Amino acid sequence: MNPDVIVVGGGIGGLGAAFALTRRGLRVRVLEQAPEFGEVGAGIQLAPNCTRILDDYGLLDEAAGLGVRPGAMVMRDAVDGDELTRLDLGDLERRYGYPYLVIHRSDLHGLLLRACRAAGVDLVTDARAAAYENTAAGARVTLTSGVVHEADVVIAADGLHSVARALLVDDEPVSSAYVAYRGTVPADQPRVADVDLGEVVVYVGPSCHFVHYGLRGGELLNQVAVFESPKARAGEAAWGTPDELDDAFAKTCGFVRDGLPYLWRDKWWRMYDRDPIATWVHGRIALLGDSAHPPLQYIAQGAIMAIEDGWVLAEHVARNRGADGTVDWDAALAAYEAVRPEHCRRVVATSRTWGELWHLDGVRRTRRNALLRARDTYDYSFVDWLYGPTALFPHEEPPLFEPIPLDGAAATA
């Protein structure tokens, strides 16, 4: 039989949505283009708005066992290494009721994959989508192989380069001209000797930043170096190369520079997002995750937004399901589209602004530093809108925080 729902894309967002919908009694098929399910990258941060959902799914304990529950998030200046501000993550957990975790992307993906298998999700590999279309009874996906899959609804979790997005808008990914290098270091290496693996630390600097935190119960140190590429700004095709990495961090503090040799220098991730869109649903085809709202990574919400999307959609399925099990898909999809685009627009826009703030130089850098040093450790005004319960309806979306103008800060370090 045809499934009730087809999810195109077997990443974190696609698997999260598949599990959420299967929990609601639906038959779900996931189409993954790769030969096998897997995830690349290194660490990922899970704020309380995500761990709350993992707890609802019964997966939080497993996630916590695979990751690290850090005690603090610290921001430092990348040039002189001085601390600028911090979050007490133990207090943050008390405030929001759920922990802040850091976990390896492959561990989170594996957790969701195991949950989907146990729930009976139909997992299909080597299935690259070529076209989407609505039908009289629902929607269909045609693969590059010519095989056709049909269902009541198709969820396109097909990422930054989504094929389905073209049904709704004619746009392209937006290059930030920034590139990320990643790498993990075993805890027994000298690099890790003086590092507190219980802290998430970001060093913010002129046109660059550097992040580190522990993974896998403290077995690994995760490092990420991000910088603006002059070659990208000049329009060159080959940009983000290792020589640019070294140049970008040449004037940072010793701790940051000493971490560069431990990065994977044979691969890097160019950073793109897309301009927000308000329409995610085309008949019985709906966008989810990066196909709808790929962000820059500065507030660590990309995968979380995708997990939230799946949870919200499943909640509206439950609210629009009759006693006979029939789902009013038009109502469920309309409710999903009524709430998620605005929240995700805020995240995409804030991520861009936060990235600009991190990478300031000159007088604006010193003004930023002065504002951050003046911040109270227990001031949550800038994350309350983000880390609280995920809104199911527009009126539940909290007010966005009010930015503090840099001009209001003294121009002294």
Let me know if 213 is a catalytic residue.
yes
**Per-residue pLDDT at 413:** 45
Structural domains of the chain in order of their starting residue, each with its CATH number: 5-172+274-406 (3.50.50.60)
Residue 145 CB burial class (10 angstroms; 0-12, 13-18, ≥19) = exposed
Residues with Cβ within 8 Å of residue 225, at least 6 apart in sequence: 180, 181, 182, 208, 209, 210, 211, 245, 248, 249, 256, 259, 260, 263
Q: Rounded to two decimals, what is the model's pTM?
A: 0.96
Residue closest to 210 by CA, chosen among 198, 223, 200? 223
Tens of each residue's pLDDT in the chain, 413 residues? 799 999 999 999 999 999 999 999 999 999 999 999 988 778 999 999 999 999 999 999 999 999 999 999 999 999 999 999 999 999 999 999 999 999 999 999 999 999 999 999 999 999 999 999 999 999 999 999 999 999 999 999 999 999 999 999 999 999 999 999 999 999 999 999 989 999 999 999 999 999 999 999 999 999 999 999 999 999 999 999 999 999 999 999 999 999 999 999 999 999 999 999 999 999 999 999 999 999 999 999 999 999 999 999 999 999 999 999 999 999 999 999 999 999 999 999 999 999 999 999 999 999 999 999 999 999 999 999 999 999 999 999 999 988 888 876 665 54
CA distances from 72 to 68, 148, 155, 172 (A): 12, 49, 37, 37
What amino acid occupies position 386? L
Residue closest to 112 by CA, chosen among 295, 343, 310, 344? 310
How far is the C-alpha of 146 from the C-alpha of 374, rounded, in Å?
Answer: 60
In 220-367, at which residue ranges do the beta strands (DSSP E only) sit?
220-228, 269-273, 281-282, 285-287
Phi, psi (5° rounding) for residue 348?
Answer: -60, -45
**Per-residue pLDDT at 411:** 53
- Asked if residues 146 and 292 have their Cβ atoms less than 8 Å apart, the reply is no
Q: List the catalytic residue out of 100, 132, 213, 380.
A: 213
Q: Which helix (H) or strand (E) holds 93?
A: helix 89-96
| Residue-by-residue DSSP string for 328-342 | -HHHHHHHHHHHHHH
**Per-residue pLDDT at 408:** 66
Residue 233 CB burial class (10 angstroms; 0-12, 13-18, ≥19) = exposed
